Amino acid sequence: MIKITADSTCDLSPEILDKFNISLAPLHILVGSDDYRDGVDITSADIFRFVDKEGKTCQTAAVNVYEYENLFSEYAASHDAVIHICISAEFSSCYEHAQLAAKKFNNVYVIDSRNLSSGQGHVVCDAAELAQEITDPEEICRRLEETIPRIDASFVIDKLDYLYKGGRCSGLEALGAKIFMLKPCIEVVNGKMKVGKKYRGGFKASLKQYVRDRLEGVQDIDTSRIFITHPHCSPKTVETVKEAILAYADFDEIIVTKAGCTISGHCGPDTLGILYKRKSAK
């Protein structure tokens, strides 16, 4: 029996976590001198309250080696193997810390998802599904490494306020985006984030164009699963995105998940991404 664990940044729903018995290692959310654990004693709603109403800045910090050791020790003895899926090593030191912790065990495997949010979640779900069929953990890890470069992950951000408050963009950039109603698309490429196309106009209209750009004419879409992930978009906005997706591809599953504190703290409430897999590497 193989146990799947992951960093809390995978943004999978409680239903998916329960279905596959996936356990999470919560990242730390630092608010002033207070240290919270992502999804345990702080939520996205708390982040928005801290930032918007109390004027505080929220930062993230990696899971430490000791915490990973505790997580792995909980399952290593009772399972044939533990496979842990980390947020991209380009975004956090979680992968480095998890690798160090895994050295204390002979049956713990650590995978760098090269992604975040439900882009990482795709890798976690694939790992859980493979673990139901395959007993060799090394074979599962090999297949996951083949999957990782096929993930197409991106988000559109309505406003740059949170990026500015977190020191991730300049005041001039934030002001310019507001004046010209620009909605940047943030893409994950080779484990790193880059700014892609900038949409102009309202958020909902921008999302329709964004979905079209990500799906129309793409010949190698793996239609098994697509995530719509957002921190706090309206149901109408999510439904608009669902309808737009169906106009270009017939996915077996369209799964809506809420973004956790990492995406929320960096991007703000009106952020939405569609994340799917391709049949070949991007």
Q: What is the pLDDT of residues 184-219, one digit of tens each?
A: 898 999 998 888 888 988 899 999 999 999 999 999
Split at pLDDT 50, 70, 90, the class of 67 is very high
The CATH number covering residue 161 comes to 3.30.1180.10
* Residues 158, 142 share a domain: no
Total domains present in the chain = 2
* Residues 167, 112 share a domain: no
pLDDT of residue 136: 97
DSSP structural state of residue 272: E
Average pLDDT value for residue range 267-271: 84
* Residues 141, 213 share a domain: no
* Residues 122, 163 share a domain: no
pLDDT of residue 175: 33
* Residues 177, 203 share a domain: yes
Cα 45 from Cα 53, distance rounded (Å): 11
Choosing from 120, 148, 176, the residue where a domain stops is: 148
* Residues 206, 142 share a domain: no
Cα 153 from Cα 142, distance rounded (Å): 21
pLDDT digits (tens, 9 = 90+) for 94-136: 999 999 999 999 999 999 999 999 999 999 999 999 999 999 9
* Residues 260, 161 share a domain: yes
The CATH number covering residue 141 comes to 3.40.50.10170
Pull the structure tokens for residue 90: 């380009």
Bridge partners of 229, per DSSP, are 257, 273
Bridge partners of 35, per DSSP, are 30
Choosing from 102, 131, 148, the residue where a domain stops is: 148
* Residues 188, 102 share a domain: no
Residues 6+ apart with CB under 8 A from 84: 4, 5, 6, 7, 25, 68, 71, 72, 98, 102, 108, 109, 110, 111
* Residues 156, 144 share a domain: no
Per-chain mean pLDDT for the chain: 90
Q: Are 263 and 155 in contact (CB under 8 A)?
A: yes
> Is pLDDT above 80 for 172?
no
pLDDT of residue 256: 97
* Residues 182, 143 share a domain: no
* Residues 10, 144 share a domain: yes
pTM: 0.92
Q: Which residue range forms the structural domain that includes residue 112? A: 2-148
Choosing from 121, 148, 175, the residue where a domain stops is: 148
* Residues 135, 23 share a domain: yes
Residues 6+ apart with CB under 8 A from 49: none
